Amino acid sequence: DIVMTQSPDSLAVSLGERATINCKSSQSVLYSALNKNYFAWYQQKPGQPPKLLIYWASTRESGVPDRFSGSGSGTDFTLTISSLQAEDVAVYFCQQYYNTPITFGQGTRLEIK
């Protein structure tokens, strides 16, 4: 199974500042033939199901604010929130869909400093 490890486990950032969350996979999730990383980011607010933010490592889902961006390739990925808003308080999960079993990171809790 591909193990997804996020860092940090929790993060406190001031409003308007940049937030960065990292995720590392135990093996590459880059499918070279298509040059696509089988990797996504989700946001889960308290009491709600997760919401898709980013897929193919850097493609923003429709309706997601452009302050959210994804980067990385192979085994190392980053979610960046360029200017933190109060509504961004949530737990963020990374996911690989390169092969089954599909696996998620343990989650990163993002709070306001």
Partner 1 sequence: EVQLVESGGGLVQPGRSLRLSCTASGFTFGDYSMSWVRQAPGKGLEWISFIRSKAYGGTAEYAASVKGRFRISRDDSNSIAYLHMNSLKTDDTAVYYCTRDASYGDFIIDYWGQGTLVTVSS
Least distance (Å) from partner 1 to the CB of residue 50? Answer: 6
| Closest CA relative to residue 15, chosen from 81, 108, 113, 91 | 113
Least distance (Å) from partner 1 to the CB of residue 55? Answer: 5
31 strand-pairing partners: 36
Contact between 90 and partner 1 by CB under 8 A: the answer reads no
Least distance (Å) from partner 1 to the CB of residue 84? Answer: 22
Give the single-character DSSP code of 88: G
* Stretch touching partner 1 by CB under 8 A, among 16-24, 45-53, 71-79, 80-88: 45-53
User: What is the b/e burial string over 74-103, where b = at least 16 CB atoms within 10 angstroms of the residue's CB?
Assistant: ebebbbebeebeeebebbbbbbbebeeeeb
Which residues of the chain form contacts with partner 1 (CB under 8 A)? 38, 40, 42, 48-52, 55-56, 61, 93, 95, 97, 100-107
